Each structure stands twice: as structure tokens, then as C-alpha cells.
Structure 1
Amino acid sequence: MPGIEILDRADLASLTAYDAVIDVRSPGEFAQDHAPGAINLPVLSDAERAEVGTIYVQEDRFKARRVGAAYVAANVARHLQTALAEKPGGFRPLIYCWRGGMRSNAMAVILSQVGWRTTVLAGGYMTWRRHVTARLYDGALPLRLILLDGDTGCGKTEVLLKLAARGAQVIDLEGLAAHRGSLLGGFAGRPQPSQKMFESRLLGVLDGLDPARPVFVEAESSKVGERMVPPALWQAMAQAPRVELAATPQARARYLVRAYRDIIEDRAALDEALRRLPTPPGRKRLAAWAELADAGDFEALALALIELHYDPAYRRSRRKETRGLLGVVDAGGLEAADLDAAAAEILRRVAD
């Protein structure tokens, strides 16, 4: 029988050396977090895992192993007939479970008997998690970060994506965290990933960056929605120089109406977001904003939020700003052509 190999590290370069990284944990565990690029071929479903665990604790350990083995055999057989059915003889999978124990070894034994050169990640998912923690919590990131700054509604996220389209290196924190980073920033029907998943996605991006080239990142706060920017990246951002986008309040109000169309169309979500303002508006102000929303005058509502909430908050934070300013770039009317021109101007200034 072909031997099973062991991998004792979980850096991205090591993981990508395999034809597939197979996470055999339950779908619920996989959804919470997994190694970048991993596919989920569970040997126990969420319900089966719960059943086996209950039998193990409340009845009999031998019975739990027997019941679990039957489920594992049936599930691995199904994977061999579906997801793995067309894999060639030279297929090289890497398998992991929670701690590199029974679940991953059960799958590995069967796959190795098929004839595939099979490897198990020692320590399982927890080895990956320790690697993430070491990189994002305990170390320093040798990156040439440049912050994309500016008032709310000046198109920072869109400019960041246009920089990427022009070949620049970017870290899209809002995309990774599934949140637009402001009070109205949630995406309808798209929950944020877990903190661990956010960090795994982030590290996957960081490991693909060239430290010799500049990396653009939006000047977020230390949290993007409910997800915390890990300390290593936050410390690098705190020391990075800024490029600031500028536009008139009227242009920004028009842009916010376009960018937050999903929130505008969900009146209950809009009303709840307005009530969650850090400085609670009085009843008269809330009533006035409700009248604007009722009338469909969302540009006037956005302009009121800019003038009464967002800009005062930004001015307060700007007074504490110590990071260097590389320049201010006019984003014009914040139309697509204006934002593309702003991206080109940012790249020109950074290159100078």
C-alpha cells in the first residue's frame, strides 16, 4: 500500500504545491474558516458529527467509533464517485481535518489505497491557524503601503479597484470583509465572514504581494464592519503615507446614492442605520430625514448625512492625523471616467 506523507507546515507556498487541498471537516466547520483554495469533502456531515459526538459522550466510545466509521466510509465512497471521479493517477491531494487526527487519516488511507500520492497536514486546520496568527498578530509586514484617503463618498473603493485594473497591487479590505466600512456599509443578503475567515482571506492576498512594489489600501478604521484589521496590518497602515481623494459634497451625495442603492431600496435597513449613528440624531432631525426618504430625495438625505455626520467626524480624526500626505487628487464629479483619471493620477504621483 502506498505510504501516506506528512506535511508539517501550512504556509501558502507549501499548500499550493498540491493538486488539491481537501478539508474533510464538516460543512459548518469549513464555513467558519479554511485554508485558502481548500475544497470541502466532509467525511462527516454536521448532523453526523453531532450524533457521533453525543454517542461518544453519553453512551459508548466503541459504538461512537463504529457508527462514525460507517458514516466516513459512505461519505468517502460518495466523494470518490463524484468530486474525485475524474482525478488521474498522478493526482496529489493534501488532506486536513481539525487537528490532523482520525478524520483526515481515514480519508488519506482510502485515497492512498486508490494509488494517489496522499499527504496529511500534521496538526490539521490548527496548523494553518497558528500560521495565520504568527503572520498577522505576532510579526511585522514588510510592505510599502500607501493609504487611499478622503471624505466619505469620494469613491475610494472604486478607485482602489481601478488601480488594480491598471496593474497596481491593492488590498481590498472591504471586499475581504464583505462590508463597505461605514455606518451604511453592510451588503444586503451578504453576511460578513467570521473573523478567522477574514484573516485567512487577507493572508492569502498578502502572500501574493511583491514587497518591492507599492501596495494600495483604503484608509479604513481598525474595524471593517464587525471585523478587526489584524495588528500587523494595522501597525503598517498607521505608518503609511496617504493620497487623498477630493470631491464636492454635492458630487459625493450623488455618488453615495448610486453606491448605496441596495440600502436605499430597503427602507427598514435605512431607518435602522440612521438610528445607529454614533451621535444619535434628535427626533426632529430623524423625522426630517424620514420625510426626505419618503419623498425619494435621497441626494438631499445623503448631503445632510455628509454635512451633519460624516464630514464633522472626518475633521475630528484629521486633527489627530500624523501620517504623511503625498498629495490631494481631484476626483471631479465621481463619474467612472473621473475615477479612472484619479487612479491614473495617483499612479503618476507615486511613480514621481
Structure 2
Amino acid sequence: MSAIEILDRADLESLAAFDTVIDVRSPGEFAQDHAPGAVNLPVLSDAERAEVGTIYVQEDRFKARRVGAAYVAANVARHLQGPLAERPGSFRPLLYCWRGGMRSNAMAVILSQVGWRTTVLAGGYMTWRRHVTARLYDGTLPFRLVLLDGYTGCGKTDVLQRLAARGVQTIDLEGLAAHRGSLLGGLRDQPQPSQKMFESRLLGLIDRLDPAAPVVVEAESSKVGERMVPPALWQAMTAAPRIELAAAPDARARYLVSAYRDISEDRAGLDEALRRLPTPPGRKRLAAWGELADAGDFEALALALMELHYDPAYRRSSRKETRPSLGTVELGGLEPADLEAAADRIAEMIAG
């Protein structure tokens, strides 16, 4: 039997030394947040965990341990016959549970008896969480950020993706947060991750970036949907220089109709979102917008929303802007060729 080893840190470099990082917590716990790249091989299901916890509190601790041990043994057996069945003798797993206690150690004992060099993360998931907090709340980020700014509908996210395809380092906050960053930005059938999961995804990306090269990030507010940009990144964003994209209103309206097609197809969701505008539209305006939606004239509706809400908000923000400008990239249109040309221009601007 191999001895169980202990790891006392949870930075990505340390985690990457293992063949697989195994989160043995329940699926519900894993869904809330987990270390980047971890796989979920639970030793207790959500229902089993709840049952054992209830027995522990309301009945008898010994009985809870006995019932829990039976579930753990059965679940680990399934993992050995399933996801772990083809692992070679040289397999090096790292296991963690909530605090590095009974669940991870129970599975580690069995895996070590198989003969695998098994390691448990001391402190479990909470060690990873403390690492995230230290980096994103208490630390500073050593990057040269460049903000991609501009009116709503200028294709900033599209350009950001094209920059990434060119090898430019980027941080796609909207992708990480599963939200398009505006009042109508929610993604249909795709809820936002928890705040902790958002931060884990963000740190997993940040730790792979080269501090010597610039990093482009879209100019967002301090929240992307309901997810807060962590203080270390937000502080860096507030001091970063800007590149502004500019396009004509009619082109922006056409782009928004395409980008937000899922919203236009969900009439009830669209109506609810329009009622939540920070500038109350009033009954007559809501009725007029409803008529545009009923007629399928979503470009006119987009222009109206830009005029009432999005553009005034951007102009107010711009008047208060203190971050230096690296220049403006004018887009003749927002077709793929225009966005490709914009990405080429921005890559040139930040290269120096």
C-alpha cells in the first residue's frame, strides 16, 4: 500500500503536477465552485450527504458514520469500475473534499491500497478558495491591461474573440460570467455561474497569462450581470488605457438584433427586461416598443433603446473618464470583414 501524501497549497502550478485533480464532494457542491480542471467523483451524492448529515445531527453520530461509510465504499467502487478503470499503475491523483477531512481521506485510503501514489489537499476546497481570495481580493495583478471600449453594439466582444484568435492575450469577462454585460444580456437557458465559480474561472485564466505581454479586456462596469468583478482586476481596469470602437447607429442596431436574437425570440422575457430599464419608459413608450416587436421591427426597437438608455449612459460615463486613450478605431460597418480589420488595427496599436 502506498502512503497517502499531503499537499498544503492550491496554486495552479501545484495542481498541474498531478495527473487528475479529483473533487470528491457532492455534485451540488461541485457545481457551486471547484478548482479549475478538477473532475467530480463524489463519494456521497447530494441526497446521501443530506441523509448522513441528518442522521448525524438528529440521531446518532456512530450510525451516521456507518451509513456514510457504506455509501462511500459503494461510490468509490463505482468510480474504480468506471472513470478510474483504465488508469495505469503510475497514476498520480490529487483528492480534495470541503476541508480535507473524512471524505477525501476515505477515498484516498482505497486508491492508495490499489497502489496509486495518492495525495490529499490539506484543507480541501477551502485551501483553493483562500488562494483565490488572496489573489483576487488581497493582491494586485502584474499585467498591462488595455480596455476595449465603445458604445453598445460596436462589436467589442466579437473583436475581443478575434484578437484572441490572433494570439493576443484577452480576458473575456462576459464569457466567464455567462452574461453579455447589459440589461438584456442574460443568456437563455444558461444561468450565470456562482460568484465563486466566476472567480475560479477568472483566476484559472489569469494564471496562464504572460505578465510581459499586454492583456485586452472589454470595458465593463464593476458587475457583469449579477457577478462582481473582483477588486484586484477592477483596480487594474480603472487605471488601464482605452481603445474605443466606433460605428454608426444603424450598423450598431443591426448588429444588436443579430447578437441578441435569443432575446427577440422570447417576447415575455423581452417585455420584462424593458420594464426594468433604469430610465422608466412609461406606458406609451412601452406600448410603442411592443408594437415594434410585434411587427418584427427589432432594428427600430434597438435604435430606440440606444437613444433612451444605452447611448446616454455611455456618454455620462465618458464625461467622467480619466483613463488615457490610445485612440479610436472607426468601423465602416459591423460585418465580419469590418471586425477582422478592427482586430488587426488593435493588435498593431498594442504591439508597441
Verify same fold: TM over 0.5.
yes
TM-score for the superposition, normalised by structure 1: 1.00
Q: Quick check: 1:49 aligned with 2:49?
A: yes
Residue 237 of structure 2 is matched in structure 1 by 237
Residue 258 of structure 2 is matched in structure 1 by 258
Q: Quick check: 1:65 aligned with 2:65?
A: yes
**TM-fit CA distance, 1:135:** 0.2
**TM-fit CA distance, 1:126:** 0.1
Tell me the secondary structure at the aligned position of residue 34 of structure 2. coil
Residue 343 of structure 1 is matched in structure 2 by 343
Residue 331 of structure 2 is matched in structure 1 by 331
Residue 177 of structure 1 is matched in structure 2 by 177
Tell me the secondary structure at the aligned position of residue 76 of structure 1. helix
Alignment coverage as a number of residue pairs: 352
Residue 163 of structure 1 is matched in structure 2 by 163
Distance 1:150 1:124 in 2: 43
User: Letter of the aligned partner of 1:72 in structure 2?
Assistant: V
User: Letter of the aligned partner of 1:306 in structure 2?
Assistant: M
Tell me the secondary structure at the aligned position of residue 138 of structure 1. coil
**TM-fit CA distance, 1:76:** 0.2
**TM-fit CA distance, 1:280:** 0.9
Q: Deviations over 1:135-173 (max 9, x none)?
A: 000000010000000000000000000000000000000
Residue 188 of structure 2 is matched in structure 1 by 188
Alignment of 1:14-93 (within 5 A): 14-93=14-93
TM-score for the superposition, normalised by structure 2: 1.00
Residue 102 of structure 1 is matched in structure 2 by 102
Residue 294 of structure 2 is matched in structure 1 by 294
**TM-fit CA distance, 1:351:** 2.1
Tell me the secondary structure at the aligned position of residue 311 of structure 1. helix
Distance 2:148 2:121 in 1: 39
Residue 131 of structure 1 is matched in structure 2 by 131
Structure 2 stretches of 5 or more lacking a match?
none
Q: Quick check: 1:246 aligned with 2:284?
A: no
Distance 2:26 2:182 in 1: 34
Distance 2:46 2:291 in 1: 48
User: Letter of the aligned partner of 1:329 in structure 2?
Assistant: V
Distance 1:348 1:290 in 2: 44
Tell me the secondary structure at the aligned position of residue 321 of structure 1. coil
**TM-fit CA distance, 1:350:** 1.6
Q: Quick check: 1:225 aligned with 2:225?
A: yes
Tell me the secondary structure at the aligned position of residue 6 of structure 1. strand
Q: Deviations over 1:23-51 (max 9, x none)?
A: 00000000000000000000000000000
After the TM superposition, list the runs of 4 or more consecutive aligned residues in structure 1 that deviate by more than 4 angstroms. Answer: none
**TM-fit CA distance, 1:331:** 1.9
Q: Quick check: 1:10 aligned with 2:30?
A: no
| RMSD over equivalenced CA pairs, Å | 0.5
**TM-fit CA distance, 1:273:** 0.7
**TM-fit CA distance, 1:309:** 1.0
User: Letter of the aligned partner of 2:237 in structure 1?
Assistant: M
**TM-fit CA distance, 1:284:** 0.8
Tell me the secondary structure at the aligned position of residue 29 of structure 1. helix
**TM-fit CA distance, 1:241:** 0.1
Distance 1:307 1:251 in 2: 14
User: Letter of the aligned partner of 1:247 in structure 2?
Assistant: A
Distance 1:279 1:301 in 2: 16
Q: Deviations over 1:211-245 (max 9, x none)?
A: 00000000000000000000000000000000000
User: Letter of the aligned partner of 1:59 in structure 2?
Assistant: E
Distance 1:11 1:235 in 2: 22
Tell me the secondary structure at the aligned position of residue 53 of structure 2. helix
User: Letter of the aligned partner of 1:343 in structure 2?
Assistant: A
User: Letter of the aligned partner of 2:230 in structure 1?
Assistant: P
Q: Quick check: 1:269 aligned with 2:269?
A: yes
Distance 2:308 2:28 in 1: 43
